[in-house]
Amino acid sequence: MDAKQELQAALAKVFAADSALYQNRGFQRRIGFGKRPALINIDLANAWTQPGHAFSCEGMETIIPATQELLKAFRARKLPVVYTTTAYDVTEGPNSDMGLWQYKIPVEVLKSGSVEAAIDDRIAPEPGEHVIVKKRASAFHGTYLAGMLRAAQVDTVIVTGVTACACVRNTVEDAIAEGFRPIVVREAVGDRIIGAVEWNLFDIDAKFGDVEPLSKVLAYLQSNEIG
pLDDT at residue 58, as a whole number: 94
Residue 14 placed within a domain: no
Note whether residue 64 is domain-resident: yes
User: Which residue ranges of the chain lie beneath pLDDT 70?
Assistant: 1, 3, 17
**Among the options 71, 166, 167, 197, which is catalytic?**
167
Residue 23 is predicted with a pLDDT of 80
- pLDDT the model gives residue 194: 81
Q: What is the pLDDT of residue 29?
A: 87
**Which pLDDT score is estimated for 155?**
98
CA–CA distance, 162 with 72 (Å, rounded to integer):
20
CATH number for 213: 3.40.50.850
Asked, for residue 12, whether it belongs to a domain, the answer is no
Model pLDDT, residue 47:
98
CA distance 220 to 157: 13
Hey, which bits of 46-103 come out as E strands?
81-86
Question: Is residue 67, in this structure, part of any structural domain at all?
Answer: yes
Residue of 133, 172, 158, 161 lying closest to 57 (CA atoms):
161
Residue 21 lies in a domain: no
3-state secondary structure of 22: helix
Examine the residue annotation and report whether 167 is marked as an active-site residue of this protein.
Answer: yes
pLDDT of the residue at 34:
98
Helix, strand, coil percent values for the chain (each to nearest 5): 40, 20, 40
The pLDDT of residue 27: 82
Q: Is residue 181 part of a domain?
A: yes
What confidence score (pLDDT) does residue 1 get? Answer: 62
61 inside domain:
yes
Q: Does some domain include residue 80? A: yes
Cis peptide before 62 (omega within 30 of 0): no
Q: Using CA atoms, how far apart are residues 76 and 223, in angstroms rounded to an integer?
A: 12
pLDDT of residue 128: 95
Residue ranges making up the domain that contains 89: 34-221
Which of 178, 123, 134 lies closest to 156, judged by CA? 178
Task: Report pTM.
Answer: 0.92
pLDDT for 176 equals 98
Residues 6+ apart with CB under 8 A from 199: 11, 15, 165
CB atoms under 10 Å from CB of 116, counted, come to 19
Cβ(202)–Cβ(15) under 8 Å? yes
Structural domain count, the chain = 1
Q: What is the pLDDT of residue 11?
A: 73
Q: Are 84 and 110 in contact (CB under 8 A)?
A: no
Mean residue pLDDT of the chain comes to 94
pLDDT at 179: 98
